[in-house]
Structure 1
Amino acid sequence: MAYEDFVSRLNPESMIVRPGSKIKIKDFDPGYKGDFQKGEALEILQLGIKELAKYQDMLYAQDTYALLIILQALDAAGKDSTIKHVMSGINPQGCQVFSFKAPSAEELDHDYLWRSYKALPERGRIGIFNRSYYEEVLVVRVHPELLAKQQLPADKKNKYIWKQRFEEINNFEKYLVNNGIVVLKFFLNVSKEEQKRRFLKRIELPEKNWKFSTSDARERQFWDDYMEAYEDVFNYTSTELAPWHIIPADHKWFTRTAVAYFIYEKMKSLNLAYPKVSEEHYAELLKAKEMLETED
């Protein structure tokens, strides 16, 4: 099967938040898997991984663009495993992953984009943000006490701060894209029922205990608040330059296949190619070849 044959059955348009639209997360089915069976999707994923490896090699050699992949989700949606599987064929020299936890004292002494700016990928590389600056309009919004701890002037902590931050984020991403850092944003959309099942599995299996804490369960109390915050994020920050992709996440095998497809499509659109050497450089290569072939 050619990788492109998969596209018509994926229905990728259904997973993109169109700029200017007003969406509701309930209209995106977290259990969607198209007409694919797990085995077939895994086969397609392997094809996609090979394609990504090819494009990443050209991205690295060309050294013009960088690709920033943003993964947002609630706990247990599969961010870590998506990174592990989708990027399994990538040369580690050309990829970097940053996981953003609660900001440190030093980070709180700077603006909220500072730590993200420091982690941006260099040209020729793929950077992955496991959570990102979007936490500043998600978890900080759901938990106002976190905003209270941020060392902002008192008059900046008002009801307009979220729309102000949406505008700042849009401007930031426009700046990145204008400078050759392509932004690709994914929300892994897991259902509340599937999250509960995965939490219970983490408790029941000793090798998964480390991945769970009681705070994960407590956050479920704020599910509706998170959904409302995410909807605002999608409605205000899905732009032509950096649209949001809402990926069904109840079936991890489909999630990984869909994410790989969108990364592939984005890299393909960049018209990547290996650099062409000058005539002078090529002449030098021929001389080097002659020297090597005439060695004793």
Structure 2
Amino acid sequence: MKFVKKFRVEPGSHVDLGSIDPGFHGDFANDAQTAQELQRNLTRITELQRKLYADRTHSLLIVLQGIDSAGKDGTCWHVISAMDPQGVQVTGFKQPTPEEQEHDFLWRIHPHAPRRGYVSIFNRSHYEDVLVVRVHKLAPKEAWKPRYDFINEWEKLLTVENKTTILKFFLYISKEE
């Protein structure tokens, strides 16, 4: 897709959501063309997941973030509809439980990281422990700022030790969609 470059965010760059049209439909001329492209992509996802599962040397983590009602659940189900359920795990992260709060913030996340050959999809994620705390001022900067480094180190552990590819998506969809 040509528009992938338009929405790819490079590490260290700044994003202004106000400059992005949440109703953007890409290069598709009509619904039929959109459906055809979706089916082509779902077929490709099926093929790639089978290869990943058979090879068992790499894994894939898909992270979906977005405001409430941004389409995270729908996106999960569209993506996994093309996958063999035995090789995919979807985990939704809500507010931490009292037990989870007694541990470091990544304690509840790590058990859901994909093993080699598998795909994990996070509906919300470890980023919530920075985003929500920061935006709603639930803790001082000294508490949440170091978490950025912890997240980067944890993701490095996954990519280096487990050969996990991490794909991160922030869904920003208009209410009309």
TM superposition score normalised by structure 2: 0.92
CA deviation after TM superposition for structure 1 residue 39, in Å:
1.8
Mapping of residues 78-97 of structure 1, within 5 Å: 78-97=71-90
Deviations 1:203-236 (A, max 9, x none): xxxxxxxxxxxxxxxxxxxxxxxxxxxxxxxxxx
Count of residue pairs brought into register by the alignment = 175
Structure with bigger gyration radius: 1
Q: Does 1:178 align with 2:160?
A: yes
Matched with 2:146 is 164
The answer to whether the 8 Å contact 2:133/2:144 transfers is no
Post-superposition shift, 1:62?
Answer: 0.5
Q: Deviations over 1:141-173 (max 9, x none)?
A: 22334x4xxxxxxxxxx4233332112211211
Please, what is the CA RMSD of the aligned residues? Answer: 1.5
Q: State the Cα distance separating 1:35 from its structure 2 match.
A: 3.0
Q: For residue 124 of structure 1, what is the amino acid of its counterpart? A: G
C-alpha deviation, 1:22, in angstroms: 2.1
| Structure 2 CA distance for aligned equivalents of residues 129 and 105 of structure 1 | 21
Identity %: 45
Q: CA deviation at 1:186?
A: 0.3
Structure with bigger helix share is 1
Deviations 1:124-155 (A, max 9, x none): 0000000001111112222334x4xxxxxxxx
* 2:93 alignment counterpart: 100
Deviations 1:68-122 (A, max 9, x none): 1000011111111111112212100000000111111111111000110011111
> Could you say what secondary structure the match of 1:31 adopts?
coil
Residue 59 of structure 2 contacts residue 165 of structure 2 at CA under 8 Å; is this kept in 1?
yes
Structure 2 alignment gaps of length 5 or more: none
Partners in 1 of 2:112 and 2:10 — Cα distance? 28
| CA distance in 1 between partners of 2:67 and 2:15 (Å) | 18
Tell me if structure 2 keeps the 8 A contact 1:74–1:190.
no
**Aligned residue type for 2:39:** Q
Matched, 1:18 2:10: yes
In structure 1, what is the Cα distance between the partners aligned to 2:27 and 2:65? Answer: 26
Q: Which residue of 2 aligns with 1:66?
A: 59
User: Which residue identity is paired with 1:128?
Assistant: I
